[in-house]
Structure 1
Amino acid sequence: MSLVQSAAQEGHEVLLTAMLAVLLIGVGVIAVTAIAQRIGVSAPLLLIAVALGVSLLPWVPAFQVNPDVVLFVLLPPLLYAASMNSSLIGIRRSRRPIGLLAVGLVIVTALTVAAVTKLVLPGVSWAAAIALGAVVAPPDAVAATAVAKRAGMPRRLVTILEGESLFNDATALVTVRVAVAVAVEGTFSPADTALQFLVAALGGLLVGVVVGQVLARIRRRLTSALLTTALSLVTPFAVYLLGEELHTSGVIAVVTTGLILSHRSPAEQTPAGRLTEKNLWDTVQLLLEGGVFVLIGLQLTDIIAGVSESALDVVLLSALVLLTVLLVRPLWVFGLRYVAQVVPWSSRGKPSAGGLAVISWAGMRGVVSLAAAQTLPLDLPHRDVFLLVTMVVILGTLGLQGMTLPALIRRVGVSPPDPKLDALEVARAQQKATDAAKERIREIQHEEGLSDRLSGWLTKQLDVRAYTAWEQLGDQDGETPTRTYQRLRREIVAAERKVFIELRDSGELEDDLLRELQYRLDLEESLLPAPVERGQDEGHQAVLPSRPGRGCEHLKEAPVEIPDADPRVCQSCVEEGRDDWVHLRICLTCERVGCCDSSPARHSDAHFREEGHPVVGSAERGEHWRWCFVDERVG
Structure 2
Amino acid sequence: MSRFSLSLRGSSPAVSSLVIVLVLLLGVVLVSPLADRFGVPAPVALTLVGAVLALLPHAPRELIDPDLVLPLFLPPLLFAAAQRSSRRDFTRNWKALLALAVGLVLVTTAVVAVVARWVDPSLPLWAAIALGAIVSPPDPVAATSLAGRLGLPKRLVSVLEGEGLINDAVALVVYTMAVSAALTGSLSVPDGAGTLAVSVLVAPLVGLLVGWLGRTMISHLSDPRAEVGLSLLLPYGAYLAMEELGGSGVLAVVVAGLMLGERGSDAYTGAGFLAGNTVWRVLDWLIGGFAFGLVGFELVKVVADPGVPTYGAGVALAVCLAAVATRALFVLPLGWVAGRRMRKSVDQGHGWRESVVVSWAGMRGVVTLATALALPDDFPGRPVVLFAAIAVVVVTLVGQGLSLPWLVRALGVRSSDEEQDDIGRARALAAGAALARLDELHADGRVDDEVAGAVRKRYARSVPDLREDLPDEVQQRIFDVTKVSKHLREAEQAAVLNLRSEGEVSAEAADRVLRDIAARSLRDSYRHS
**Cα offsets for 1:28-49 (capped at 9, x unmatched):** 3222223323333122222222
Aligned to 1:331: 329
* Greater shift in the superposed pair: 139-148 or 56-65: 56-65
**Cα offsets for 1:381-434 (capped at 9, x unmatched):** 33223222222211211222222223333333433032xx54444334333333
- Residue 265 of structure 1 contacts residue 274 of structure 1 at CA under 8 Å; is this kept in 2? no
- Residue 154 of structure 2 contacts residue 419 of structure 2 at CA under 8 Å; is this kept in 1? no
Residues 414 and 168 from structure 1, CA distance in 2 versus in 1: closer, same or farther, beyond 3 angstroms?
A: same
TM-score normalised by L of structure 1: 0.67
Residues 308 and 432 from structure 1, CA distance in 2 versus in 1: closer, same or farther, beyond 3 angstroms?
A: closer
Structure 1 residue 344: deviation in Å?
Answer: 10
Residues 436 and 336 from structure 1, CA distance in 2 versus in 1: closer, same or farther, beyond 3 angstroms?
A: closer
Aligned to 1:121: 120
Aligned to 2:260: 261
* Greater shift in the superposed pair: 102-111 or 59-68: 59-68
- Give, in whole Å, the separation in 2 of the partners of 1:436 and 1:83: 27
Aligned to 2:106: 107
**Cα offsets for 1:563-600 (capped at 9, x unmatched):** xxxxxxxxxxxxxxxxxxxxxxxxxxxxxxxxxxxxxx
CA radius of gyration, larger in: 1
Aligned to 1:233: 232
- Residue 83 of structure 2 contacts residue 261 of structure 2 at CA under 8 Å; is this kept in 1? yes
- Residue 54 of structure 2 contacts residue 297 of structure 2 at CA under 8 Å; is this kept in 1? yes
Residues 61 and 70 from structure 1, CA distance in 2 versus in 1: closer, same or farther, beyond 3 angstroms?
A: closer
Residues 200 and 428 from structure 1, CA distance in 2 versus in 1: closer, same or farther, beyond 3 angstroms?
A: closer
- Give, in whole Å, the separation in 2 of the partners of 1:160 and 1:461: 39
Is 1:27–2:26 an aligned residue pair?
yes
Residues 449 and 29 from structure 1, CA distance in 2 versus in 1: closer, same or farther, beyond 3 angstroms?
A: closer
Is 1:301–2:294 an aligned residue pair?
no
Q: Highest relative contact order (Cα 8 Å, sep 6+), 1 or 2?
A: 2
* Greater shift in the superposed pair: 224-233 or 65-74: 65-74
Residues 454 and 132 from structure 1, CA distance in 2 versus in 1: closer, same or farther, beyond 3 angstroms?
A: same
**Cα offsets for 1:28-75 (capped at 9, x unmatched):** 322222332333312222222222223223332423541222022122
Structure 1 residue 301: deviation in Å?
Answer: 3.0
Residues 162 and 230 from structure 1, CA distance in 2 versus in 1: closer, same or farther, beyond 3 angstroms?
A: same
Aligned to 2:76: 77
Is 1:389–2:385 an aligned residue pair?
no
Residues 441 and 330 from structure 1, CA distance in 2 versus in 1: closer, same or farther, beyond 3 angstroms?
A: same
Name the aligned partner's letter for residue 184 of structure 1.
L
Aligned to 2:43: 44
Structure 1 residue 154: deviation in Å?
Answer: 1.4
- Give, in whole Å, the separation in 2 of the partners of 1:328 and 1:97: 16
- Residue 300 of structure 1 contacts residue 388 of structure 1 at CA under 8 Å; is this kept in 2? no
Structure 1 residue 106: deviation in Å?
Answer: 0.7
Aligned to 1:131: 130
- Residue 13 of structure 2 contacts residue 60 of structure 2 at CA under 8 Å; is this kept in 1? no
- Give, in whole Å, the separation in 2 of the partners of 1:340 and 1:404: 25
- Give, in whole Å, the separation in 2 of the partners of 1:22 and 1:272: 31
Aligned to 1:275: 274
Provide the secondary structure at the position in 1 that maps to 2:444.
helix
Structure 1 residue 82: deviation in Å?
Answer: 1.8
Gaps of 5+ in 1: 1-11, 466-481, 493-545, 548-635
TM-score normalised by L of structure 2: 0.79
For residues 41-440 of structure 1, what are the structure 2 equivalents within 5 Å? 41-63=40-62, 65-190=64-189, 192-308=191-307, 311=310, 313-337=311-335, 350-418=349-417, 422-440=419-437
- Give, in whole Å, the separation in 1 of the partners of 2:58 and 2:407: 42
Residues 314 and 296 from structure 1, CA distance in 2 versus in 1: closer, same or farther, beyond 3 angstroms?
A: same
- Residue 88 of structure 1 contacts residue 260 of structure 1 at CA under 8 Å; is this kept in 2? no
Provide the secondary structure at the position in 1 that maps to 2:59.
coil
Gaps of 5+ in 2: 1-10, 468-503, 506-529
- Residue 308 of structure 2 contacts residue 387 of structure 2 at CA under 8 Å; is this kept in 1? no
- Give, in whole Å, the separation in 2 of the partners of 1:323 and 1:43: 24
* Greater shift in the superposed pair: 156-165 or 313-322: 313-322
Aligned to 1:522: none
- Give, in whole Å, the separation in 1 of the partners of 2:329 and 2:319: 15
Residues 251 and 428 from structure 1, CA distance in 2 versus in 1: closer, same or farther, beyond 3 angstroms?
A: closer
- Give, in whole Å, the separation in 2 of the partners of 1:304 and 1:192: 35
- Give, in whole Å, the separation in 2 of the partners of 1:350 and 1:431: 28
User: Percent same amino acid among aligned pairs?
Assistant: 38
- Give, in whole Å, the separation in 2 of the partners of 1:149 and 1:400: 19
- Give, in whole Å, the separation in 2 of the partners of 1:203 and 1:53: 43
Structure 1 residue 219: deviation in Å?
Answer: 1.7
- Give, in whole Å, the separation in 2 of the partners of 1:336 and 1:258: 29
Is 1:445–2:445 an aligned residue pair?
no
**Cα offsets for 1:225-266 (capped at 9, x unmatched):** 111111011111111110000111101011110111011133
Name the aligned partner's letter for residue 213 of structure 1.
W
Structure 1 residue 454: deviation in Å?
Answer: 2.6
Q: Aligned pair count? A: 455
- Give, in whole Å, the separation in 2 of the partners of 1:407 and 1:335: 23
Residues 178 and 428 from structure 1, CA distance in 2 versus in 1: closer, same or farther, beyond 3 angstroms?
A: closer
Residues 459 and 25 from structure 1, CA distance in 2 versus in 1: closer, same or farther, beyond 3 angstroms?
A: same
- Give, in whole Å, the separation in 2 of the partners of 1:305 and 1:374: 14
Structure 1 residue 180: deviation in Å?
Answer: 0.8
Q: CA RMSD in A?
A: 2.8
- Give, in whole Å, the separation in 1 of the partners of 2:238 and 2:51: 34
- Give, in whole Å, the separation in 2 of the partners of 1:64 and 1:293: 13
Residues 344 and 118 from structure 1, CA distance in 2 versus in 1: closer, same or farther, beyond 3 angstroms?
A: farther
Residues 434 and 235 from structure 1, CA distance in 2 versus in 1: closer, same or farther, beyond 3 angstroms?
A: closer
Residues 111 and 360 from structure 1, CA distance in 2 versus in 1: closer, same or farther, beyond 3 angstroms?
A: same
* Structure that is richer in helix per residue: 2
Provide the secondary structure at the position in 2 that maps to 1:365.
coil
Name the aligned partner's letter for residue 318 of structure 1.
A
- Give, in whole Å, the separation in 2 of the partners of 1:236 and 1:309: 35
**Cα offsets for 1:514-563 (capped at 9, x unmatched):** xxxxxxxxxxxxxxxxxxxxxxxxxxxxxxxx99xxxxxxxxxxxxxxxx
Is 1:463–2:474 an aligned residue pair?
no
Provide the secondary structure at the position in 2 that maps to 1:123.
coil
- Give, in whole Å, the separation in 2 of the partners of 1:424 and 1:203: 38
- Residue 71 of structure 1 contacts residue 371 of structure 1 at CA under 8 Å; is this kept in 2? yes
- Residue 156 of structure 2 contacts residue 354 of structure 2 at CA under 8 Å; is this kept in 1? yes
- Give, in whole Å, the separation in 2 of the partners of 1:15 and 1:65: 10
- Give, in whole Å, the separation in 2 of the partners of 1:19 and 1:171: 33
- Residue 108 of structure 2 contacts residue 323 of structure 2 at CA under 8 Å; is this kept in 1? yes
Provide the secondary structure at the position in 2 that maps to 1:211.
helix
Residues 446 and 136 from structure 1, CA distance in 2 versus in 1: closer, same or farther, beyond 3 angstroms?
A: same
- Residue 170 of structure 1 contacts residue 201 of structure 1 at CA under 8 Å; is this kept in 2? no
- Give, in whole Å, the separation in 1 of the partners of 2:185 and 2:334: 35
- Give, in whole Å, the separation in 2 of the partners of 1:457 and 1:207: 47
Residues 61 and 433 from structure 1, CA distance in 2 versus in 1: closer, same or farther, beyond 3 angstroms?
A: closer
Residues 35 and 436 from structure 1, CA distance in 2 versus in 1: closer, same or farther, beyond 3 angstroms?
A: closer
**Cα offsets for 1:467-498 (capped at 9, x unmatched):** xxxxxxxxxxxxxxx9xx8xxx9xx9xxxxxx
